[in-house]
A and B are shown apart, each in its own frame.
Chain A
């Protein structure tokens, strides 16, 4: 079975501070991991993905994520948060063993406080 957990419904961070949005996963084979961002009344936008290779993945808008196989985690990070980063963030996983569908977490609402 495949699943994704985002343990925090809400994350608040001050502008200029580093931010972390947490994600853990469970898959049968090797994971393909994704982060998406959603602004109000919009669809989800792709931020970054991990397929293979370097555990630190860099994506759009200065975001990065670190793949940790031993902890089955894929936390999203940014060194310095902007107010415009305030949005809903979704982690997703795709199993390499055959299932083609993405499994999404429940989302984490990030609020950056000016």
Chain B
């Protein structure tokens, strides 16, 4: 079955540590996205990528970094510069053609300890 996989499901980070969240899709989608979701809030776009080796900042990119070396993979690194990283992180993918929605992963819950 085609889908989008996020790992790990739960992640704990110590102060000052960088951590990387994995996102892999086998849907042959061109575009991939990272969102952050805080309790009681909607989705905020962190980064997105429309094609391999290219990505753009979203609304809240500070303290995060991404790479898109392969079409299937779009990992997100939460750096020590992100002062409040505790949140639920969602990865999504989509065909670039109009009329297509997003397919979401099941999310990674990151907690700072």
Contacts and interface: CB of A to CB of B under 8 A. Distances in A.
B42 interface: yes
A43 interface: yes
A39 B109 CA distance: 14
B103 interface: yes
Contacts of A110: none
Interface string B80-104: 0000000010101010101101111
Contacts of A49: 99, 101
A100 B94 contact: yes
Interface of A: 32, 34, 36, 41-46, 49, 51, 90, 92, 94, 96, 100-102, 104-107
B41 interface: yes
B104 A43 contact: yes
Consensus secondary structure, chain B interface: strand
Interface of B: 6, 31, 33, 41-43, 45, 48, 50, 88, 90, 92, 94, 96, 98-99, 101-107, 109
Of B48, B98, B101, B102, the most chain A CB neighbours within 10 A belong to B101
Contacts of A41: 88, 107, 109
Given A46-B101, A94-B99, 15 more contacts: A41-B109, A43-B92, A43-B107, A44-B104, A51-B99, A90-B43, A94-B98, A96-B99, A100-B31, A100-B94, A101-B48, A102-B94, A102-B102, A104-B42, A107-B43
A104 B111 CA distance: 25
Contacts of A90: 42-43
Given A42-B106, A42-B107, A101-B48, A92 B101 contact: yes
Contacts of A34: 101
Given A32-B98, A100-B94, A107-B42, A43 B31 contact: no
Contacts of B50: 100
B106 A106 contact: no
Nearest to B30: A100
B101 A43 contact: no
Given A90-B42, A100-B50, A105-B42, A43 B90 contact: yes
A42 B98 CA distance: 26
